[in-house]
Amino acid sequence: MTSAAGPPKIALRAAIVAAALGIVVSLALLLKETPYTLVAFMFVGQPLLVIAFLLLAFQAFQDLRNRGVL
């Protein structure tokens, strides 16, 4: 993950953690379908995946701007 631009940013690490937690909640719903796992997926899993996407997109945009591509 280390590149010429320096060590990975905190936003990138947070995106990885949020995506991993969102996937864990999604897998819990896939393995055992109960009302509780559905609620957990709807109110915790999906927002975590959206947050992960937004953080990754933000980090990619900043990286492209710093390299002079954008």
Has residue 2 been placed in a domain?
no
Has residue 4 been placed in a domain?
no
Answer yes or no: is pLDDT of 1 > 90. no
| Domain region containing 47 | 10-66
Domain count, the chain: 1
Q: What span, in angstroms and rounded, lies between the C-alpha atoms of 10 and 19?
A: 14
Has residue 25 been placed in a domain?
yes
Has residue 47 been placed in a domain?
yes
Q: For residue range 5-45, list pLDDT tens digits in order.
A: 566 789 899 999 999 999 999 999 999 999 999 999 999 99
Mean pLDDT of 47-51: 97
Has residue 41 been placed in a domain?
yes
Q: What span, in angstroms and rounded, lies between the C-alpha atoms of 11 and 3?
A: 16
Has residue 3 been placed in a domain?
no
Q: What span, in angstroms and rounded, lies between the C-alpha atoms of 4 and 48?
A: 29
pTM (2 decimals)? 0.82
**Which residues touch 69 (CB under 8 Å, ≥6 apart)?**
none
